[in-house]
Each structure stands twice: as structure tokens, then as C-alpha cells.
Amino acid sequence: MASGQIIAAVRARFLLKPPSRHTIQRALEDLEIEGLVAKQGASRDRVWWRTGKQAPSELARRPPLELAIALLTLRRHAPNHLPGHVIQELEAYFAGAERVLSESPTDPSLSDARAWTAKTVRVDAGYPLMSPPIGSNILDAIRKALYTSRVLEVAYQNSRLETEAPESYQVVPLGLVERGPVLYLVASRQRRDGTFRIYQLRLDRFASAVCTDMPGVPDPDFDLGAYVRDNQSFSFLPEGRIRLELRVREEDEYRHLFREQWLAPDQEIIDEPGGFRLKATVTLSIALRNLLMERSARVEVLSPATLREEIAESLRQAIRRYETAAVHAA
């Protein structure tokens, strides 16, 4: 509709006290800012039309203070755990939350709420490695296929050094897992015999990802919680359960981390001079080996004997490399 037609129609609805032309034009501009209408042309030749975007509800325009804090915390900490279209629908709520918190600079309750976002932060355990970049189009395609249970066409760069070309295949997404700075897709593909193969794919290694229109057939027996918790799949190459015994040295005034952060529910601590011995039933894996190597200056593996010798050989190799490097440097 032309601007003149819209103004005439609006004024006709309010015969007793019609709004001014300027008020109606300003309202149209506000609707344009919100993406509800679009325009073309200038002055008297300008025409307006409705976009497909829906007007936000009153709750989205002005959420309660507590909901505003929760929404902005959600936007900050959980963007990878929501489908793309849900995030888009929440944008109006996020904008409304920001609007509520910025209304009055002198209101003490709003001052406290504004300060909350700067009072919480999440820090990954260990050294804070940077998250590898992930293309937004790749993440959007993966989230869409995961949400709708569609077949995902991927081109994936394996971590093996002998290959550089991405491998292309189709999978059905089962879940997203955030492990430290890295985001993983757990997916499945049905074999000819009806069984399912499970894939654990790092999102930063995707060369491309396309959500198809084909309905996926996910593994009906798959449980993401059990996959992560019980199968220890993100410990990397789990090799079964072992009974681990360690000697932990506490040579200063600090209590060792393993006293408060246990390796297993059945952990036992036996105090002895200079520290303690620790016994626990754990899953042998690359992650466990890395943990023991990381803390090897104060943590000694007593049993099983095979793991003790493996850690010792790794330390001997490290010593040889450092000694060789020192000779070359001299």
C-alpha cells in the first residue's frame, strides 16, 4: 500500500481523535526497524508491505526482570545447545530483555540485574585452549538436521595425517556434545544388516554440511546420556575398567586436587607421610593417560603394572627428547 493510503486508513479508524501524519509515519518506521514491514520508494511514491515476520508478544517486548536475566544468561552460555530456528525466535525476547535492563539507570534493582552478567563466568578445566572456528552455515545445517531428524550430507576432514581430502557420506545426527573448547556431533549410519555405526565428529573438521529433505532413521537404542556417561566415549578410545592405584605426593601446604575432585565414586584415600595413596575403579583411556602424564611430577602409578610401565616409558622418551634438545641448543 502507498503511504497516503495507509495514513488515510488509519485516520479513518480514529474519527474522534485521528493521529497526525507524522505519528503514523513514525509508527511505520518503528515497524520497519522491528522487521515487520518493508518499504520502497521515496516521499509520495513510497509503498509499504508486510514481511513474513510475526510481531513479538507483549511478554517478548517486556519480560519480567527475572526472566530478562535468565534470557540473557541463556544467550551467553548456551547458544550451541539450541536449534537455529529457536534462537531466531528468541531474538525478540533477547532484545526485550536488554530493553528492560536498560530502562532506568538509577533503579537499584535494575543496576543489580545489569551487573549480574559480569558476575558469572565459565572456565574450562585445564589450560584455556581457544575454540576452533566453526562455519555458521555448517552449525545451522547440523542443528536443523538434528532437530528434524533428517539425513545430513557431510564432507569431513579426518584427523589422520596421511589424508587431506574430506570424506563425504550421509549420517543421521543423534546429539551435540560440548567438551571443553570443542563441539562434537554424535551421529549414526545404518548398515546393510540393520545395525548402526556411531560416528563422533568434531564440528571444526567439517568442510561442508547440508540438511537434506530425507527423513533419517536414527538408532532407536541410542541414549546420549549413557553414551557420554556410561560408555565414557569422550574419554577417547576407552579400553575397559581397571583398578587404579596411585601414590600422590603433597609436598607443600596445598591439598591435592584428587582429594576433592574424585576419579570415581568408589575412590579410597589412604593417608601416608608426604601425601596419600589412592585407589579407584576407572576407565582406561587416552584421557586418563593424559591426566596422569600431566600430573606425573606428583602422581605415581603403582598399579596396574602395565599402565605404570607405559607411563614410565613415556616419561623416559620425554627425558631423552629434552636431553637431545639441550645438546643441540648448546
pLDDT tens digit sequence for 309-325: 999 999 999 999 988 86
Tell whether the torsion through CA atoms of 139, 144, 149 and 150 is positive or negative. Answer: negative
Structure confidence at residue 231 (pLDDT):
65
Structure confidence at residue 262 (pLDDT):
93
Residue 164 pLDDT greater than 60, yes or no? yes
State the average pLDDT over residues 121-148.
85
Structure confidence at residue 312 (pLDDT):
96
Structure confidence at residue 86 (pLDDT):
85
The three three-digit cell numbers of residue 45, written as one number: 511514491
More confident residue, 278 or 237: 278
Residue 210 pLDDT greater than 90, yes or no? yes
Fold of 136-220: SH3 type barrels. (2.30.30)
Structure confidence at residue 330 (pLDDT):
60
Residue 91 pLDDT greater than 60, yes or no? yes
State the average pLDDT over residues 282-295.
91
Residue 41 pLDDT greater than 90, yes or no? no
More confident residue, 231 or 137: 137
State the average pLDDT over residues 89-106.
86
204 confidence band (pLDDT: 50, 70, 90): very high
State the average pLDDT over residues 148-174.
86
327 confidence band (pLDDT: 50, 70, 90): low
Distance, in Å, from the CA atom of 266 to the CA atom of 243, rounded to the nearest integer, reads 10
Distance, in Å, from the CA atom of 201 to the CA atom of 146, rounded to the nearest integer, reads 14
Structure confidence at residue 160 (pLDDT):
67
Structure confidence at residue 249 (pLDDT):
93
Tell me how many degrees the CA angle 178-126-296 measures, rounded to the nearest 5: 130
What is the rounded average pLDDT for all residues in the chain? 87
The three three-digit cell numbers of residue 233, written as one number: 566415549
State the average pLDDT over residues 47-76.
85
Which residue stretches of 149-248 are H helix?
Answer: 224-229
Report percent pLDDT > 90 for the chain. Answer: 41
> pTM score > 0.75 for this model?
no
State the average pLDDT over residues 298-312.
96
Which residue stretches of the chain are H helix?
Answer: 3-13, 21-33, 58-61, 65-77, 84-101, 108-116, 136-148, 224-229, 257-260, 286-294, 305-329
Q: Tell me, what DSSP letter sits at residue 56? A: P
Q: b/e string for 293-318 if b means 16 or more Cβ within 10 A?
A: eeeeebbbbeeeeebbebbeeeeeee
